[in-house]
Amino acid sequence: MLDLPPTSSRPSCMQTQELVREECERWAGSGVDVRYEARTDRAGHKAGNLTEGMRHAYARGCEFVAIFDADFQPSPDFLARTVPLLLRDPGLALVQARWEFDECLLTRMQEMSMDYHFKVEQQAGSSLCSFFGYNGSAGVWRRQAIVESGGWDERTTAEDMDLALRAALLGWEFVYVGDVKVKSELPSSLGAYRSQQHRWSCGPALLFKKMLREIVAAERVPAWKKLYIVYNFFVTRRVVSTFFTFFFFSVLLPAKTLFPQVRIPTWQMVCVPTATTLLNSAGTPWRRSAHLVVPWVAFENAMALHRFKAILIGLFEAGRANEWIVTRKSGNGRPTPGAEGRRLKRRCRLHWLELLVGALLLASGCYDCVHGHGYFYLFALPQSIMYFAIGFELLGVHHTS
């Protein structure tokens, strides 16, 4: 099952749909049972797409469902390496594969975070309690588990995590296979990445609020697994760690610099939060990523502001709690057919909150450099530069129209 945008989307999406249609027709002509389906509206977003796809008779007759977003390129042996795991274990609901990416500076820094997510979070959840958040693509589901769990629900922007959580509360188990890798694409523009991170932060926060009682009341899940889901999966990883990163580097650091009477030991002020952030890069191949550690730490600290704001929107169900913006991808830099003759126009937004925090860090860094007695400016000034880079959208590829 391939998740494509509707026919009413921008021209490049329509061209992609036409390419998929032609490829399906080519394989169907050679005797392969493959079909092309597309919706004409976007109701329910991705959850609506997948729900509609599961209603077709040929989908209802399948025991397993493999799902890929449009930018994923599975290898020919993907099903041969994943489906046998489901056949061997009837209690297994999901087999999740690892994602691989193409690179620019922005996507390399994203990949460092994704390395931790896959090699530590997903692997640990799979090994310890057979539970983790479904990534939404490059996974094979047992159809029975989808049906018993109620299918996809559009109540949050984390519809994939929602389905996985409901399945886990019914006693289904998941397995992550890190040696099966599927090539995909990360957003190469800062605007697209911010939209994606808003959805990935706001959706789980809203889902946690809606399902906390169901998690606690679940009868088929042991108490230790409930504790893991509530404390580790939701509270620690998706709320506390984000707040911790933002608060120490972007609030407490300038406060300590501008108000010397605030006495906080250096090891608590700098060493602990820096070590905590660096631990989130565990799993990254250091031979090709060591030179990106400093900008990556600054980038993660700055993005924590955007993520924490999205978490608050989700927890309080504010106006943008269910905002869904399709993550725009560049197609690995390949030009869109027919785009050569179009006039290119750069679109850039100013993000005032990031610019404000960047100005605060710059002021505190300069003050500490001139009047201070420590070396906090060595942290404040580089961090302010990253805030300005994000506030002016100087990172990544700028999409054109």
| Cα dihedral 188→190→196→199 (10° resolution) | 180
Q: In this structure, what are the phi and psi dihedrals at residue 47, rounded to the nearest 5 degrees? A: -60, -40
Neighbours of 29 (CB within 10 A): 8
- Give the burial class of 213: count Cβ atoms within 10 A of its Cβ; 0-12 exposed, 13-18 middle, 19 or more buried: exposed
- In three-state secondary structure terms, 67 is strand
**Regarding beta strands 139-142 and 92-101, do their DSSP bridges make them parallel or antiparallel, or are they unpaired?**
antiparallel
pLDDT tens-place values along the chain, 401 residues long: 655 555 444 446 678 788 889 999 999 999 998 989 888 888 888 999 999 999 998 888 899 999 999 889 999 999 999 999 999 999 999 999 999 987 778 898 999 999 999 999 999 999 999 999 999 999 999 999 999 999 999 999 999 999 999 999 999 999 999 999 999 999 989 999 999 999 999 999 999 999 999 999 999 999 999 999 999 999 999 999 999 889 988 888 888 888 888 788 877 777 888 888 888 888 888 777 888 999 999 999 999 999 999 999 999 998 888 888 888 776 654 444 443 333 334 556 899 999 999 999 999 999 999 987 678 899 999 999 999 999 999 988 765 54
The one-letter amino acid code at 11 reads P
Distance CA 214, CA 155 (A): 15
Distance CA 38, CA 21 (A): 10
Neighbours of 265 (CB within 10 A): 9
Q: What angle in degrees, to the nearest 10, is found between the helix axes of 293-315 and 377-391?
A: 60
Non-local (6+) Cβ contacts of 97 within 8 A are 74, 78, 82, 138, 139, 177, 180, 181, 182
In the chain the domains, ranked by start, together with CATH numbers, are: 44-186 (3.90.550.10), 189-325+348-400 (no CATH)
Residue with tokens 């406060």: 255
Own/partner pairs, 75-81, CB within 8 angstroms, 24+ separation: 75/181, 75/182, 78/180, 78/182, 79/140, 81/177, 81/180
Distance CA 262, CA 252 (A): 10
Chain segment 12-25, per-residue pLDDT in tens: 667 878 888 999 99
**Angle 337-394-137 (CA atoms, 0-180°, nearest 5)?**
55
- Provide the 8-state DSSP code for 70: T
What end-to-end distance do the CA atoms of the chain give, in Å?
A: 30
pLDDT at 249: 85
Distance CA 347, CA 349 (A): 7
Copy the structure tokens of residue 387: 């805030």
Q: Which residues, in sequence order, are bridge partners of residue 97?
A: 177
Residue with tokens 């930018």: 71
Q: What's this model's pTM, rounded to 2 decimal places?
A: 0.88
